[in-house]
Structure 1
């Protein structure tokens, strides 16, 4: 079973300063970015492929233009290695609030060919359940305005209709006109605003009126429409693909609302001739439902393979539940994709799945938040810095007490050195810049402890100290303003818990089993968590 990771611009600073937990350059354009395939080699890369959604590609014009020019394998930024297969889809979660997918079938085939991906996926429309009695109503966000917002829609309507508000594309694909001619006939620049009268009155009368409105789409059974549209796209796209000469493999995406509907869809697309099937729409479903769907589709695929003496590959989109790995494996699924396990490495526990039953946690050291006061930010930075020092000492099998002691001695030197540096250099020409980033970059590179100041005492303090850009020698800032900031840091450092001088801590460190060094940081980590 192959694991594909979604491409969400998850790149890291190639030359990150791990000692001080800081970016290599404050200027984003100057950083070299590494993706997961840049960090590992072919034998050790912990993924089997990359999922690239059109929604993500077109997040910015620059990225879309770049990938259109170079493709995913030759792109100077993404630069996926040629030995790593790629799947590209339309990103159905991104347009789930629209009445139609914003892409046409021929358009998507051309998109996949331009990107030079290994596999392209048919256009699906996420089947959304609705508990509302009268179906679903789609409204163009561009028709709302200051005097009439979504919240002004009367409860009498929103209580019985699932209201979906999103910004519609400037131009719909041609096929949309077959279903809703009204929304194709108005120029986008002439969209009229909604008023209260559009939504008030007898519910059935309002809905009939909105069904003909150019700014709205109303469906009583939207679930069925999305299901059938997904299958219609699969059929049309298959014909276009067979009549073309495309270099990629075509996967069909199916949707449904229960195991029975998924099995029915699987039978239909297999009869069309597809040999690669993707199960969509299960990302947010309960694990017991996913198991039923995957088992049902898996049995359908195996039965088709036996009857036709052929092979059919299968994929599960957005499968994020590690508890279900065994199920999708036994069901014969070829591959799945998820970013949840990677993201959980900095948000939660039990986040590394191995072949054995073992689980490993990632320990997250939090930065101060933007809402923290200066003294709170400094305190959290001191705690986080000490925790990182302890973790790195543990990783290198270095005595924790000695490592923390060395860090503390260094931290005590930072503030007096900063005071001396500011007195001597605050009016240097290098700080005569308008951009804070340029001044801060010069400060951290020239001042001996510029990076340690941020690491131990917070980015907030360093940014506040870098008033240098406003410190005009002709009208200097009173040095007392610098002193006040430094004294705040000194007070926090003085009040900071000194584990090394506590006899209780020393005793606890000494009696711990040397063969289990992780135990040494369990209690300190608990107390140091921000």
Structure 2
């Protein structure tokens, strides 16, 4: 995880006089100034980044003079930046310098400022080690835009521009045979879209990808994007994050295989953050002392307008500086320093109150505990907020502290989890532990099944997005629970630190799982759809149970995969019968079925129902009377709920239930003999008959809807009389047409036969209705 510092000509005066607040009079800002890597003992970053937009020359705000721009392209970035030190002639990759467009500078423009050709020229002339393809930033984050119909046109066009520019960029670089490594920029609006465009660039030949538009995103959004991308692209592909500034969350991102990132934030926070201007090595942040200087633009305007007296300002500025240095030498008391600082603060900003923040900084004296060259050289002046030379030195110090923290994070090469190690058979052990479901991708991958030179590789099927979406929707609910364990095969020997014995075969301890390598140590044997759902949760944490084992190779992993996934699936009837008792936590696609099964359940269990104990469910199949299949009744109800009479009743249960009871009571009475027989002996109680007669229920109900909201039994009986009793439910032939005549018992529960029977019954019913009306 290399840190690139995004430089904007951030140099300070080496000979600045902190007592007199005086700059060297004839110095050249760049040639005589010092970069952070020159002021500190060693560079406080691993690489540097220069944006084309920061160079200027296009009529916009820039940080370089015209002469400096030409010298940069003439001498090259290495010599210009004097990085890692003046005259360095070692391997360029040891201290990389990256170039990008600086796309935030034209974020509000319809089109980017620079052409692909211009950018390639710029990178080549500057001699960068890495060059980023042109992009156009997408700030929004909205997974709903994954549906192309919902994605705003300007969002889609920016994504398309970015991916197409990357392809043109690589083609042009290959044609010119440039020396820099091409980094393909990726923009997106969701984890899925970032992964999609990343794969598109991988297929085009990119081996280094840079992900933009994330600097202002929430931490969990950035995490979700990186985790999703890492799971969808090959492990050897390098990943760079632009504008990454989540320093307190560095350890959280470790293990996601982020190759590099860039930022200026540690420097900027030294003078742009309202409170946390100074980073301490122990992880604490402190407020710098704001001592306004006479030459500050805003203060000069107030003096010129007569709002503030110049002499009073000059006095306070001088006394505050003297008191702070006196306090550092133990010559001035804490309260005297605080009183003058706060009086000056009230003079400039009457509503401000920083006394307690300043007290904390003064009491802790963090500058005395910092080993960096800046704090050791200028002491308490690093804590004084005012002027470029103090503010930027404090920023350089922040870079040092941040880089040291990053070095510590890099050494965090394991995740430690409480674990029970159990011996199952001979020397075969399983490791039972709990980990955050969103962190699983740090140590476990999916082994996709494919053919490589005719050889079978991997064993996992592709992800099923609909299934993943259902799991995710459930896990997002308030009372979600995931008690079934995931199964992970580890391809390396695990370190287990024993703490105590639970019993003769189980030991309690701590499991150390390696993270941070290019190749993951684990393969998901069971639970890949759950892991994908967990990865996309909006929650920061969802602990899950995991069972791991040390794999002896692909063969053993495949054996376990087949064994785990070869179990017989639950009967659909059982799943559906459970739906009414689940409550609201059901997958969206089962919501309608849940409502339909509630009606089915009442039809089967209510004593006044014509279908009382007639429906064959998992729990009633032992009854001799239960011979009508539940799936047939369910299909009939769902058809009516979707496009029939029951569609009118989306909220309640009682009215649709009354319609069903009335209608099937009439059917039971009118076709008594056929109704009393099991499906093998009667096509009325057969699936084809139940579903077809359901459509007749809809036809009758709609025909009489102006007169009856719920048609009574007696009226249904009159309508069935129009259909007539001469239906070949138990004998005879079905005469669908001159060329289509089937014996009564050849009708099967297929869509084709259901259509034939339904059309036959509806034609008969409508024909007799017309005859009666005449």
Instruction: Give the TM-score taking structure 2 as reference length.
Output: 0.37
Higher-strand-fraction structure: 2
Of 43, 46, 49, the match for 2:44:
46
How far apart are residue 323 of structure 1 and its match?
3.5
CA contact (8 A) 2:133 2:169 kept: yes
Instruction: Specify the SS of the correspondent of 1:320.
Output: coil
Query: Which position in structure 2 is the counterpart of 1:125?
Result: 136
Number of residues of Structure 1 aligned to a counterpart in Structure 2: 322
After TM superposition, the structure 1 = structure 2 runs for residues 351-500 of structure 1, keeping only pairs within 5 Å, are 351=277, 357-368=283-294, 369-373=299-303, 376-395=309-328, 397-400=329-332
After TM superposition, the structure 1 = structure 2 runs for residues 221-300 of structure 1, keeping only pairs within 5 Å, are 221-300=153-232
Query: Which position in structure 1 is the counterpart of 2:127?
Result: 116
Deviation per CA, 1:327-371: give whole Å up to 9, x if none.
332321122111122111123333555775433444342224122
Q: 1:517 to 1:321 in 2, by over 3 A?
A: closer
Q: 1:239 to 1:80 in 2, by over 3 A?
A: farther
Alpha-carbon distance in structure 2 between the residues aligned to 1:125 and 1:257: 12
Alpha-carbon distance in structure 2 between the residues aligned to 1:287 and 1:270: 26
In the alignment, structure 2 segments of 5+ residues that lack a partner are 58-64, 89-93, 143-150, 348-359, 368-383, 387-774
After TM superposition, the structure 1 = structure 2 runs for residues 291-310 of structure 1, keeping only pairs within 5 Å, are 291-301=223-233, 304-305=234-235
Q: 1:515 to 1:6 in 2, by over 3 A?
A: closer
Alpha-carbon distance in structure 1 between the residues aligned to 2:10 and 2:385: 26
CA contact (8 A) 1:109 1:241 kept: yes
Greater RCO, 1 or 2 (C-alpha within 8 Å, sep 6+): 1
Alpha-carbon distance in structure 2 between the residues aligned to 1:261 and 1:5: 28
Instruction: Specify the SS of the correspondent of 2:292.
Output: coil
After TM superposition, the structure 1 = structure 2 runs for residues 341-360 of structure 1, keeping only pairs within 5 Å, are 341-348=266-273, 349-351=275-277, 357-360=283-286
Instruction: Specify the SS of the correspondent of 1:370.
Output: helix
How far apart are residue 89 of structure 1 and its match?
0.4
How far apart are residue 223 of structure 1 and its match?
0.8
Query: Which position in structure 1 is the counterpart of 2:741?
Result: none
How far apart are residue 78 of structure 1 and its match?
8.7
Query: Which position in structure 2 is the counterpart of 1:104?
Result: 115
- Cα RMSD of the aligned pairs, angstroms, is 3.9
Instruction: Specify the SS of the correspondent of 1:400.
Output: coil
Query: Which position in structure 2 is the counterpart of 1:63?
Result: 68
How far apart are residue 129 of structure 1 and its match?
4.3
Alpha-carbon distance in structure 2 between the residues aligned to 1:13 and 1:26: 11
How far apart are residue 232 of structure 1 and its match?
0.7
Instruction: Specify the SS of the correspondent of 2:174.
Output: helix
Q: 1:220 to 1:329 in 2, by over 3 A?
A: closer
Alpha-carbon distance in structure 2 between the residues aligned to 1:273 and 1:355: 42
Q: 1:271 to 1:220 in 2, by over 3 A?
A: closer
Q: 1:266 to 1:324 in 2, by over 3 A?
A: farther
CA contact (8 A) 2:132 2:182 kept: yes
Deviation per CA, 1:401-435: give whole Å up to 9, x if none.
69x99xx9xxxxxxxxxxxxxxxxxxxxxxxxxxx
Query: Which position in structure 2 is the counterpart of 1:23?
Result: 23
CA contact (8 A) 1:295 1:328 kept: no
After TM superposition, the structure 1 = structure 2 runs for residues 142-181 of structure 1, keeping only pairs within 5 Å, are none
Q: 1:46 to 1:242 in 2, by over 3 A?
A: same
Larger Rg: 2
Q: 1:230 to 1:391 in 2, by over 3 A?
A: same
Instruction: Specify the SS of the correspondent of 2:138.
Output: coil
Alpha-carbon distance in structure 1 between the residues aligned to 2:75 and 2:31: 21
CA contact (8 A) 1:116 1:248 kept: yes
Q: 1:366 to 1:330 in 2, by over 3 A?
A: farther
